[in-house]
Structures are given as structure tokens and as C-alpha cells.
A and B are shown apart, each in its own frame.
Chain A
Amino acid sequence: MSKNKQNNNEPSPPPASRGFWAEAWLRYRRRKLAMAALLFVVFLSLVAIFSPAIVGTKPIVCKYKGRIYFPAMSYFKAGWENPVFYRDKFRKRFPKNITQKDPESWAVWPLVFQDPYRRVRDGEWKDQPGNPTGAAGKPNRYNLMGTNQAGVDVFAQMVHGTRIALMVGFVATGIAGMIGIVVGSLAGYFGGWVDMFLSRLIEVVMCIPALVLILALLAILESPTIWHLMAVLGATGWTGIARLTRGEFLKLRQLEFTTAARALGGGHMRIMFRHILPNSLAPVLVPITFGIAAAILIESGLSFLGFGPPPPSASWGTLLNAGRSNLQMWWLIVFPGMAIFLTVLAYNLVGEGIQESTDPRLREAGK
């Protein structure tokens, strides 16, 4: 530093070279397939966030009796619906009620008027006919992906199911990542007895068939919600991450910078989480990305077996389950099946992209 100041007339030093993550991002951007997958994930997140605005039966924004409301927000959480609509006995039929009860009102409606939880009846919306039920519910103008046995629109369920799928992926893997990183770093950093004990723990959880563990934990909860399911998926899916973190820590704690940090008086916690963890984050990020795909897969598998979130919330797996008993209704299988497939594929591609853009060994081999 001081040297630079002395030689002020010298040409300024070259700009700081890019950091590790900037470099990795640059490499990642060069991979077309990985970029496409990332864009797809972004697209899915947008669909999930704007799901009530894409398809629903409640106005996105409306002015009712002189006040502005956002009834569509109740798709995110039932409690967010303004009590005024209960008091005025809307009974979830907005289009007619809102004009009848307040002629002055206006409303902005979702792109498609369909509901993920109930069948839309005849005359609810302008000249849209009621949803067909059973095998008659083929994809048509009003039901882009058909309807299920009870006449509930599949497109609406798919769009609102995106929210469940992505949330399960992120929350479950977030929990798994936290447990995995903590267990793995403790085992790798301290070694000895701690390592011996934690490694057995990892082995035990790995050996227990995931289905027993998940079903047993869900059964103990008695009335599991989607959040319980995410917590259980997180509590069972951390072993791979823990093993990898342990391996990285075993390697990195031998290196000079760790010794230097210790010599400077850094405590165990500080060395583990400020010095070693950031350096082992890139390889740990890879199984986390794959973990998101795995969590989505397990959730749809569980819903398919009938152990998914309770009825009102429809996930992609629930649709598949309905399709299994009605094989003639191919649209109940093809659309959710493809959605699960594409989502899993996209996360796998993103994971691989991260792996290849951050792993120095693969970097040499590639471009």
C-alpha cells in the first residue's frame, strides 16, 4: 500500500483481477445449456410469484366500496383475504358479486379465469362455460390443460403447483444445507472422536431407507402440512452435503491459511465459518443444487403415493396420482410429468454448470 503512494507518478496499478465468483460467473455464462436452465428456473420462479395474477378467480386489484383491495393475495395465504368479502357474503364468487354489491367498483382480473381448488361453474365469468368433469375434460379453449375428475382446471393447478414445487425445493434444501454444512464442518474440522461420532450419524441416516424415515416422521406429526413435509425432507436429505463438506474441511484445515488464522488467534468458530467455509462453498453448492432437484422429485413421489400435502393445496404429484387411476385422461399425466421432468432437468443442468465453472480441475480441461 505505502509503496503505491510513494510512486504516484508511476502508471496506476492494473485493475484488480476478478474475484473467484466473478470468474466463475463468466465461465458459467459461456455454457449455453446451463444458462438456458438458469433462465428456466428464473421463469419458474416468476410463474410461482405471479401465479395468482396468471390464473385465479379473484381480482388482482379491485376498488370496492371506496377502498383498494388485493383479493388475489389470499392464494398465498388464506388468512390474507380481507374480511370485508366474508361480511358481504362473496362466497369466493367475485365477478358477479363485486359489480352487484358495488356498481362503482372496478377490478383487474388474472389472465385466465380458473381456480386451482374448485370447479368453475357455468356463468361465473362472462360467457365462459362451466368446466367439464371426468373424461370429457380434454384440453380446450377455456381449460388449457384440461380438467381433472372433479372438473378443477389442470392449468390452474399446474401454475399454483409451481409455488409448492419451488418452495419445497428451496426450503427443504435450505434446511438440509444448514444441517449438512454444520455437521460436515464440525466433523471435518475437529476430527478424532467428533468425526467418528458424526460420521456414524451420517452413516445411520444414510442407511435408513428414506421412505421409512419420511413416512414415520410424517405419521408422528398426525396432521402434516406442506411445511412439515419440507422440514422432514430437509431433516433426511442432508447426508450427501455433510459428507462433501467434511471432505473439504479435512483438506482445507491442513492448508497454510488455516494455520495462519490460528496463529493470529482466531477462535474455532471464526476459523471454521469465516476462513474455511467460504473456501469450500463452491463444491458444496453443487450437491445443494442437485438436492433441490431431489427434494422436488421426492415431494412429487410422496404426493403420488398419497402422502403429500393435504388436499386443498395441489402439487404436481397429486395431479399424477389422479391421473394414475384415470389413465384415459392423459392430460393429467403428460403436463405435470413434463413439468417435474423439466424442473429436475433444469436444476441438474444448473448444478453441473456450477460444478464445471468452479472446479479448477475441470476448468483446465474445458475452454
Chain B
Amino acid sequence: MFTYLLRRSLIGLITLLLITFVIFGLIRNMPGTPLTIALAEVDPSRQISEEDMKRMERAYGLDKPFPVAYVHWLGNLARFDLGRSISRKQPVTRLIGERIGPTMLLSVTSLGLAYLLSVPLGLYSTARSGKPDERAMSTFLYMLYALPSFVAALLLLVLFAVKLNATAFELPLFGMVGDNHQSLSTWGKMCDVGRHMILPVFCYTYGSLAYFSRFVKSNMQEVVRQDYMRTAKAKGMGPFRVLVHHGFRNTLIPFVTLLGLTLPALLSGSVLLEQIFTWPGMGRLFFESITERDYPTIMGLVLMFSVLTLLGQLLADILYAVVDPRVSYS
């Protein structure tokens, strides 16, 4: 097990180096630097002189060719320093720290909801497999799965923010808090955030809910054909107990690996949804840093996403060995 972990970590490290190097090269070769992009926004009368530009480039390390700058970045990384954002004049770690809360508020809620609802849904559709109500539900879930979340978000906005405007069902259009947030009591503040969360959480949840419940059902379908299920039924066990204790428990292995693979989704957020709802999360930070050519922030985020993706894969494999004694890596 230990050698396996060591081997996987080493390979992971090489992969990480490759990824960050490729991304570093790509973003450094995008036209425009953080300085020119910021300049394009201020009025042309306040042009910076050539020497000042050179001096600023030197200060931010933009004058060096990108392989040199990459080694420099790696050196800082070894000292746990992700650098400072060029466009926001703040340490990247603090920027990420600010944005991680709102993203996790959405992702944890929606993943929790998806897991909680998908198991009963999946079990229900196994129990009533082939019946009209099950077919209707499965078809509906399948269609939900194909509905792009940004389309759903826009449709919901049209419905709740425009059509139901000025009714009891009106929901806020964007942002995380209302205009009067500061003046509210603690309870009022929570309600305010909650109201702003409803639409984004719904858009985050329905796709994974549809996917997970299909996942549960397809795994259950393999299990219900097993001999031990028939035996359990023959012993006179109730259908619920057969399904949950003898059936569902045996589908937990693939379910657990799914858990590992959703790890990066917890922190990465969704660029499109956060953009639509102007939610101050990681996805928006990522999008903004790309358009601002904010190299340190892009690199910090890419590093975080790739570490999480690789860790998630490793975690899935390890959990696999933990829950299934037939699998071992030694």
C-alpha cells in the first residue's frame, strides 16, 4: 500500500509539473499582459511612459521569458507563496480564501441535496422498475440531465425575477446579498442569503441529482438479479429491508468512488452559473482573472484545481480498496 501511494504521488507530482508548465506557457503567450489590459480600461490621456512600463514589467517579473518566470514561480511555490495578484494588488491566497466560502456554500448544499435525494429516488425507481410512474420519473430525470444549467438558470430568472416580479414568489436576480443586507438582524441576514441561494442551488443540483439517481438505479439493477436477493426474499423479508439492507449496501462501492471524483467540483464552482448569478465565487474569480490576464491568480487556481482533481482520483482508488476487500494495491 505504501509503495503504491508513493508511486502514485510521484506520478501525480510529474503530472502537476507538466500541467502547470503548459498552462504557464499558454497564459504568458496570450496577447496582452495584465498591465496593458488594465491600461486599456483607463482613459488614454493617462498613458504610462515607456520607462515606467519597463520598470513595472520588471517589478512583476514580466520581462523574463516564460520558462525562467516559471522556475521563479516554482521557487516561490516551494516556500508556499503563490504570489500577489497583479490586477487586485492582493496575495492570491487571500483572494482564493475570500472566494472559497461562497462557492462552498453553493456546492456543499447542492451536493448534499443531490446525495440525499438521489438515493431514495434511485431505490424507488428500482422498486417500481417498469411501472408507468417509474418510467415517467426516469424520463423526466433523463431530460433534466440534458438541460444545460445555464439555460435553466436563464429560464428560472425569467420566471422568478421578471414574470413573478413584485409577487410573494419573487426571487432576487443576482448577487449573494440584498442591498439592505447590512441593516438586517442576524436571522434576517441568513434569510437574505438563503433567498439568494435558492436559484443557484437549484441549477447546481438538478443535473447531478439526475446523474446520481440514474447511477444508483443502474447499479441496483445489477444487484437485484443476484441470488442472495432472491434468498432474502424467500426468507420472508419485507421488500424495503431486502432492497436497502441486501441490495443498496452492495452498490455502495461504486457510489463511494463517485464521492472521490466529485471532490474538485466542491471547490471549483461553475464559471457559467456564477457569472449568470454574479455570485462572488471561485468560478467568477477564475473567469475574471483570465480576462484580466492576472497570471498569479490563474496559476494559483489552476494549481488548486489540478491538485484536487488528482487527489480526487487517488482518493477514489484508495476508497475503492477500503470498501472492497477484494481490491488491494500491495
Do A and B make up one complex?
A: yes
Interface set of A (CB-CB < 8 Å, partner B): 200, 203-204, 206-209, 211-213, 215-217, 219-220, 222, 293, 297, 300-301, 304-305, 320, 323-324, 327-328, 330, 333-334, 337, 340-341, 344-345, 348, 365
B29 contact set on A, CB distance < 8 A: 216, 220
17 CB < 8 A contacts A-B: A204-B19, A204-B22, A207-B15, A209-B286, A209-B302, A211-B271, A211-B290, A217-B26, A219-B31, A220-B31, A222-B31, A305-B275, A327-B154, A330-B162, A334-B158, A340-B148, A348-B142
Known A207-B310, A208-B302, A348-B145; further 19 A-B contacts with Cβ < 8 A: A200-B11, A208-B306, A209-B302, A212-B286, A212-B290, A216-B23, A216-B26, A216-B30, A219-B30, A219-B31, A293-B146, A300-B148, A305-B275, A324-B154, A327-B157, A330-B163, A333-B155, A337-B154, A348-B142
Q: Is A305 a contact partner of B272 (Cβ separation < 8 A)?
A: yes
**Closest CB of chain A to B277's CB: distance in Å?**
11
B305 contact set on A, CB distance < 8 A: 207, 209
Q: Is A200 a contact partner of B14 (Cβ separation < 8 A)?
A: yes
B141 contact set on A, CB distance < 8 A: none
| Residue among A215, A301, A334, A365 making CB contact with B148, cutoff 8 Å | A301
| Residue among A207, A304, A327 making CB contact with B150, cutoff 8 Å | A304
Q: A204–B29 Cα gap in the complex (Å)? A: 19
Interface: B147 (CB within 8 A):
yes
Q: Is B23 a contact partner of A324 (Cβ separation < 8 A)?
A: no
| Residue among B19, B146, B155, B286 making CB contact with A211, cutoff 8 Å | B286
Q: Is B161 a contact partner of A208 (Cβ separation < 8 A)?
A: no
**Closest CB of chain A to B75's CB: distance in Å?**
22
In the complex, the chain B residue whose C-beta lies closest to that of A218 is B30
Question: Which are the 9 A-B pairs with shortest beta-carbon distances?
Answer: A345-B146, A216-B26, A337-B151, A219-B30, A207-B306, A333-B154, A344-B146, A330-B158, A327-B162
For B267-295 the 0/1 string (1 means CB < 8 A from A) is 01001100110000000001100100000
Q: Is B162 a contact partner of A297 (Cβ separation < 8 A)?
A: no
Interface: B87 (CB within 8 A):
no
* Majority secondary structure of chain A interface residues (helix, strand, loop or mixed): helix
Q: Is B298 a contact partner of A212 (Cβ separation < 8 A)?
A: yes
**Closest CB of chain A to B3's CB: distance in Å?**
17
Given A208-B302, A212-B302, A301-B272, answer yes or no on A341-B148 (Cβ-Cβ < 8 Å): yes
Q: A208–B290 Cα gap in the complex (Å)? A: 14
Interface: B27 (CB within 8 A):
yes
Interface: B309 (CB within 8 A):
yes
Q: A207–B13 Cα gap in the complex (Å)? A: 13
Q: A224–B158 Cα gap in the complex (Å)? A: 32
| Residue among B14, B26, B275, B310 making CB contact with A213, cutoff 8 Å | B26
Interface members, chain B 1-31 (any A CB < 8 Å): 11, 14-15, 18-19, 22-23, 26-27, 29-31
Q: Is A340 a contact partner of B306 (Cβ separation < 8 A)?
A: no
Interface: B143 (CB within 8 A):
yes
In the complex, the chain A residue whose C-beta lies closest to that of B154 is A333
B290 contact set on A, CB distance < 8 A: 211-212, 215-216
Q: A204–B24 Cα gap in the complex (Å)? A: 13
The number of residues on chain B lying at the interface, defined by a beta carbon within 8 Å of a beta carbon of chain A, is: 43
Interface members, chain B 52-103 (any A CB < 8 Å): none
Given A207-B310, A222-B31, answer yes or no on A200-B18 (Cβ-Cβ < 8 Å): yes
Q: Is B158 a contact partner of A333 (Cβ separation < 8 A)?
A: yes
In the complex, the chain B residue whose C-beta lies closest to that of A333 is B154
| Residue among B18, B31, B154, B298 making CB contact with A323, cutoff 8 Å | B154
**Closest CB of chain A to B278's CB: distance in Å?**
11
Q: A137–B52 Cα gap in the complex (Å)? A: 51
In the complex, the chain B residue whose C-beta lies closest to that of A336 is B151
Interface centre among B11, B19, B157, B158 (most CB of A within 10 A): B158
In the complex, the chain B residue whose C-beta lies closest to that of A344 is B146
Q: A15–B123 Cα gap in the complex (Å)? A: 46
B23 contact set on A, CB distance < 8 A: 208, 212, 216
B27 contact set on A, CB distance < 8 A: 212, 216
**Closest CB of chain B to A362's CB: distance in Å?**
10
In the complex, the chain B residue whose C-beta lies closest to that of A343 is B146
A348 contact set on B, CB distance < 8 A: 142, 145-146
Q: Is A324 a contact partner of B298 (Cβ separation < 8 A)?
A: no
A200 contact set on B, CB distance < 8 A: 11, 14-15, 18
| Residue among B147, B163, B221, B298 making CB contact with A341, cutoff 8 Å | B147
In the complex, the chain B residue whose C-beta lies closest to that of A339 is B151
Q: A365–B225 Cα gap in the complex (Å)? A: 10
Q: A315–B28 Cα gap in the complex (Å)? A: 30
Q: A334–B151 Cα gap in the complex (Å)? A: 8
Q: A236–B175 Cα gap in the complex (Å)? A: 32
Q: A222–B32 Cα gap in the complex (Å)? A: 10
For B114-154 the 0/1 string (1 means CB < 8 A from A) is 00000000000000000000000000001101111011001
Interface centre among A203, A345, A365 (most CB of B within 10 A): A203
B155 contact set on A, CB distance < 8 A: 333-334, 337
A293 contact set on B, CB distance < 8 A: 146
In the complex, the chain A residue whose C-beta lies closest to that of B290 is A215
Q: A324–B162 Cα gap in the complex (Å)? A: 12
Q: A206–B22 Cα gap in the complex (Å)? A: 13
Interface centre among B29, B146, B302 (most CB of A within 10 A): B146
A216 contact set on B, CB distance < 8 A: 23, 26-27, 29-30, 290
Q: Is B30 a contact partner of A305 (Cβ separation < 8 A)?
A: no
**Closest CB of chain A to B93's CB: distance in Å?**
19
Q: Is B26 a contact partner of A220 (Cβ separation < 8 A)?
A: yes
Q: A211–B275 Cα gap in the complex (Å)? A: 14
In the complex, the chain A residue whose C-beta lies closest to that of B161 is A327
Q: A334–B286 Cα gap in the complex (Å)? A: 28
B11 contact set on A, CB distance < 8 A: 200
Q: A331–B2 Cα gap in the complex (Å)? A: 59
| Residue among B151, B163, B309 making CB contact with A207, cutoff 8 Å | B309
